[in-house]
Amino acid sequence: MESEEFIMKYVTMKNDKIPAIALGTWSWGTGVNGGDRVFGNNYTAEDLRPVYEKAVKHGFTLWDTAAVYGYGASETILGHFIKEEQDILISTKFTPFDGQEQNMRKSLKESMERLCRENIDLYWIHNPRNVEKWIQEIIPLAKENKIKHIGVSNHNLDELKLAVSILENEGLELAAVQNHYSLLYRESEEAGIIDWCNDNHIVFFSYMVLEQGALTGKYNANHPFQSNTRRGEAFSIETLRKLQNLINVMSEIGDKYKVGPAPVAMAWSLVKGTVPIIGVTKEAHIDDALTAITLTLEKKDIHDLEHAAMETGISVRGAWEKSIKK
């Protein structure tokens, strides 16, 4: 798709305009929680620079990362790319761990150094371990303008309401929620979280919309994921076999619009009122995101996708996730 044919779509986050799709860098860099361990990838900055440049050229200026991805490796690569760029929006995260002394201010400082930034556009509390403690910790950082917007990830509705209450008492707002949400994992919808976000003008970011590649149509029982990786464990050959009918339905819908399965899954998440975070490691991934933004699914398409997904009997919850249903 040529740039002159494409007009970026935007959503509003607390009076700021952001692209309708965010680009993720979980697979950038190696090490603990890095691309090699999770995905079986080993991409260098040289490999990824053309991906970054193509994305920015087409208006994908919101990039999502985390200190925990490769323990700084992902942030370092992204920071190397954005040194000269002032119009890039950065989303990164602080990840609480059980039984460890942690310092959010220190972690944020280290993230900003890696990302070559003096502040962060969107800073997330990555999980709900001790909601009150970490919401209190983020407040002074926001008041000092080190953080422009506050987000929380993997929280249930009660935890979200608690976070909002604490922030409101300090004159601050929760800007965004980021949860796992895909055709195969719709707990945030079923628990009323997406509706609550819409009612409260909070942007809902959906991660793992493509289920780490399982919903792209590029993998199946005869072409499985690398076995010694986290996603290879999550999507066994048997699981991929159970997914095949859903992939077939996605392909049939895609054929109608002359697109592949991946843009169909992304377009579904857009129709559901979310901002999908799409992991990108190849220029073709940018093409899929460009296609998804221009793709309008019909009501029957949505029904057929959701029915086929339900029929798989598969619900893929990450090892780090708890149920967010009451």
pLDDT digits (tens, 9 = 90+) for 206-261: 999 999 999 999 988 888 777 777 767 778 899 999 999 999 999 999 999 999 99
Which residue in the block uniquely carries the two structure tokens 């991409």?
43
Q: How far apart are CA 33 and CA 40, in angstroms?
A: 11
Query: Residue 185 is which amino acid?
Result: Y
CA 189 to chain centre: 16
Query: With 90 as the cut, is the pLDDT of residue 143 above it?
Result: yes
**Residues 171-184: tens digit of each pLDDT:** 999 999 999 999 99
Q: How far apart are CA 291 and CA 190, in angstroms?
A: 28
Q: How far apart are CA 182 and CA 98, in angstroms?
A: 27
Mean pLDDT of 149-158: 97
Q: Using only C-alpha atoms, what is the Rg of the chain?
A: 19
Q: What's residue 303's pLDDT? A: 98
Query: With 90 as the cut, is the pLDDT of residue 35 above it?
Result: no
Pairing of the two strands 16-19 and 10-13: antiparallel
Q: How many residues does the chain have?
A: 326
Q: Is the pTM of this model over 0.85?
A: yes
Q: How confident is the model at residue 3 (pLDDT cuts 50, 70, 90)?
A: very low
Q: What's residue 88's pLDDT? A: 95
Using CA atoms, how far residue 317 sits from 5, 47, 156, 295, in Å, is 38, 30, 14, 28
List the one residue out of 91, 75, 89, 62 whose CA is nearest residue 29: 75
Q: How far apart are CA 177 and CA 204, in angstroms?
A: 5
Strands (E), 95-249: 120-125, 147-153, 174-180, 203-207
Q: How far apart are CA 36 and CA 321, in angstroms?
A: 21
- Residue of 54 and 230 predicted with greater confidence: 54
List the one residue out of 133, 121, 134, 129 whose CA is nearest residue 156: 129
Q: Where are the alpha helices (DSSP H) in the chain?
A: 35-38, 45-57, 73-82, 104-115, 131-143, 157-169, 187-190, 193-199, 230-234, 237-257, 261-271, 283-294, 299-312
Query: With 60 as the cut, is the pLDDT of residue 93 above it?
Result: yes
Query: With 60 as the cut, is the pLDDT of residue 195 above it?
Result: yes
Q: How far apart are CA 293 and CA 263, in angstroms?
A: 8
